Amino acid sequence: MPVTLHGATKVWQRHDRRTQFTIWGLWLLAAAGFAYCSAFVSEKTIWPFVLDAPAQAVDLGVRMVPPDWSFIGTLWKPMWDTLNMATLGTAIAVVLAVPIAYCAARNTTPSVTVVRPIAIFVIVSTRSINSLIWALMLVTIIGPGVLAGILAIGLRSIGFCAKLLYEAIEEIDEHQVEAVRAMGASAGQVAAYGIVPQVMPAFAGISVFRWDINIRESTVLGLVGAGGIGLPLNAAITTLAWTKVSLILLVIIASVVVSEWVSAKVRQAII
Amino acid sequence: MPTGVAATAPRVWRRPPAIKSASLRWAITIGVLAYLAAAFGTTEVNWHRVWEGLPRGARFLSAFFPPDFTTRWSEILDGMLESLWMTVVATAVGIVLSIPVGLGAAKNVAPAPVYYLCRGFLAMSRSFQEIILAIFFVKFFGFGPFAGVVTLVVATIGFYGKLLAEDIEDIDPGQAEAVRATGAGWTQWINYGIQPQVMPRMLGLALYRFDINFRESAVVGIVGAGGIGATLDTAFNRYEFDSAAAILLIIIGLVMAMEYSSGFIRRWVN
């Protein structure tokens, strides 16, 4: 307990002197790093444009109201496509995530030295590439459309689902697995009766959670040509049809709120 | 052997179904099948175009062996460094700004009007994808990293503020009350009663958000908000798959390095 004497009175401090200096040193370093980085950002910024921003914002705000409700009839199809991209993409991802998670979990992987690092690499690489970049790639490869969106969402979500799932598998109760194995069950039966029932709630929770995120992500994939509500959004922005833009944004907010509500309800029902 | 046992039929154990009510089980199955039929029925896929694209896909995959780091190296380096600067600035500013918002959105710290205001702000900033925010900020602030930084700051506040508020609501009230009972003022109460309790988890989350911000900074460039995204977009549009592969590998490598170092930092702090 660092206590210093000031004359006769004892004063308590949270840290002793050395820790205090280390903390100050780290803060100084962080501040210097921040200053250095912000200098670079500011060098590449055109400040007159930035200072002009409030006027721009007001101008845009005025042009965006009222939303053009007559446009809503053409939005149902893209919205349905967005929903499909998120749902089918999530379905692909969870199906592919199961074997990868099985290989990545320390307690179920066939080989710690070979298979596990490969599975971990797959998880990290699909996770670190944003679905928009996946879509960008897939659009150049298989052409614009909903299929590119589905695959982009699927590929992006594999890593996320597999990571959470393998953590759930690593946390299971080994006694149950042991009990099933002791009855003479084969490897497949051990997985089906010892492991699956234990991770099933987590698995369902992860799928719904990711579906919710994917609804949000699939709203923008159209910006690079992968179908969904992003296509009309992009078209409206490039043609400066701001009243249509505001309507599309309202539709996106509504869908995000609904999907969040659905996912919360389903997860409550499971857990 | 007693005859009574032999007379009973052999009992077979079946795994209990996940959903107990049979009718609900059937309803869900039929609903899922109907949805899948509708989804596949209405999804238009140009299989001819997909078929045509397959050799291009193969070319893209082969571009990873080996990727071309050299031809566009100066552009790649510029874009990467810009992404990194943006990430550092946005994470720092975002976390500093999310502290007051997070405090305001915690029920046990803030009065009701402040609470609802902050919660509303957090919900708003979280309901839009970063890219949509970036489009608007590019319109406001012009092309370049500044728009990207503002985008990431807003996204960081939405994420970090919400988690901070939830963490503050979950603290042990006994410790906070003990500090208050010594006659501490409001700032002292926050500093000594609440901050030490939320600090370890929030530090981990700060590192995680840094990681997310870096990944996001790689995409905001697609709509003109600075960073490596613009370089990547150009590489794809020119079908320079080997340069694109190099960029993707650098992103994956950096994200992996961050993940390892964040684990290391967290252990060191604890």
DSSP result, A6-21: ETTEEEE-SS-HHHHH
**CB-based contact (8 Å) between B170 and chain A?**
no
**HSE on the CB side for A246, CA within 13 Å?**
13
Out of A56, A84, A141, the one facing B56 most closely (by C-beta) is A141
Strand partners for A28? none
Q: Decide if the complex's ipTM is over 0.90.
A: no
In this predicted model, which residue has the larger pLDDT, B22 or A160?
A160
Q: What is the pLDDT of residues A209-223, one digit of tens each?
A: 899 889 988 998 988
Q: Which residue has the higher pLDDT, A7 or B97?
A: B97
Tell whether the model's pLDDT for residue A161 goes beyond 90: yes
Looking at residue B93, what is its pLDDT? 94
Measured at the CA of A71, the angle between CA A66 and CA A73, to 5 degrees, comes to 135
What is the average per-residue pLDDT within A31-42? Answer: 87
Position B154 confidence tier, pLDDT thresholds 50, 70, 90:
very high
Decide if pLDDT at B266 tops 80.
no
**Is B44 in Cβ contact with A44 (below 8 Å)?**
no
Q: A182 touching B, CB under 8 A? A: no
What whole-number percentage of chain A has pLDDT above 90?
22
Chain B residues touching residue A193 (CB < 8 angstroms): 15
Residue B257 confidence class, pLDDT cut points 50, 70, 90: confident
Which of B56, B146, B251 is opposite residue A45, by nearest beta carbon?
B146
In this prediction, residues A65-89 reach a mean pLDDT of: 88
Interface test with A, best of B46, B78, B133, B222 (most A CBs within 10 A): B222
CB of A89 within 8 A of CB of A218? yes
Show residues of chain A in contact with B129, CB under 8 Å. Answer: 216-217, 219-220
pLDDT at A162: 93
Chain B residue numbers with beta carbons less than 8 Å from the beta carbon of A137 are 60, 236, 244
Predicted confidence at residue A1, as pLDDT, reads 56
* pLDDT above 70: residue B45: yes
**Banded pLDDT at B52 (limits 50, 70, 90):** confident
Q: Which residue of A84, A217, A256 is in closest CB contact with B39?
A: A84
B15 touching chain A per CB within 8 A: yes
The verdict on whether omega for the bond into residue A48 sits within 30 degrees of 0, i.e. cis, is no
A4 pLDDT higher than 80: no
Query: B8-12, B59-63, B146-150 — which is least confidently predicted?
Result: B8-12
Question: Can you read off the two tokens belonging to residue A249?
Answer: 């944004």
Position B133 pLDDT exceeds 60: yes
- Please identify among residues 221-240 of chain B the ones whose CB lies closer than 8 Å to any CB of chain A: 222-223, 226, 229, 232-233, 236-237, 239
Task: Report the residue of chain A nearest B17, measured CA to CA.
Answer: A197
What is the rounded radius of gyration, in angstroms, for the C-alpha atoms of chain A?
A: 26
Give the model's pLDDT for residue B170: 87
Query: Which pLDDT value is given to residue A97?
Result: 93
B140 vs A143: CB contact, 8 Å cut-off? Answer: no
Residue B226 DSSP class? S
A14, A46, A233 ranked by CB distance to B142: nearest: A46
Q: Which of B242, B239, B237 is nearest to B222 (CA)?
A: B237
> Is A140 in CB contact (< 8 Å) with chain B?
yes
pLDDT higher than 70, residue B6: no
Confidence class for position A157, pLDDT limits 50, 70, 90: very high
At A212, list the tokens: 């919710």
Q: Out of A30, A56, A200, whose CB is closest to B18?
A: A200
**Residue B152 pLDDT greater than 90, yes or no:** yes
* A88: chain B residues, CB-CB within 8 Å: 39, 43
The DSSP secondary structure of A71-130, one letter per residue, reads GGGGGHHHHHHHHHHHHHHHHHHHHHHHHHHHHHSTTT-S-TTTHHHHHHHHHHHHHHS-
pLDDT band at A67 (very low <50, low <70, confident <90, very high): confident
Residue A60 contacts residue A239 (beta carbons within 8 Å): no
When scoring B15, B93, B131 by the number of chain A Cβ atoms within 10 A, the one with the most, hence best to mutate, is: B131
**Among B45, B233, B255, whose Cβ lies nearest the Cβ of A124?**
B255
Does the CB of A146 have a partner CB in chain B at under 8 Å?
yes
Q: Does A12 touch chain B (CB under 8 A)?
A: no
B218 shares contact with chain A (CB less than 8 Å) = yes
- Write out chain A residues lying below 8 Å of B89, CB-based: 34, 37-38, 41
Tell the residue number behind the tokens 């697995």, with chain if given: A177
Contact A193, A186 (CB under 8 A): no
- pLDDT of B150: 92
Q: Can you tell me the mean pLDDT for A195-209? A: 88
Write the residue in A41, A143, A217 that is nearest to B129 by C-beta: A217
Q: Cβ A256–B149 below 8 Å, yes or no?
A: no
* CB within 8 Å: A41 and B223: no
From B9, B249, B28, B10, select the one nearest A128 (Cα to Cα): B249
Least confident of A147-161, B146-160, B211-225: B211-225
Contacts of B57 in chain A (CB under 8 A): 141-142
Q: Please give the residue that has the higher pLDDT: either B150 or A59.
A: B150
- The confidence score (pLDDT) of residue B270 equals 66
Q: How far is B220 from chain A (nearest CA, A)?
A: 10
Kindly indicate the confidence band of residue B1, based on its pLDDT and cuts at 50, 70 and 90: very low
Of all residues in chain A, the percent with pLDDT exceeding 70 is 99
Residue A135 pLDDT exceeds 80: yes
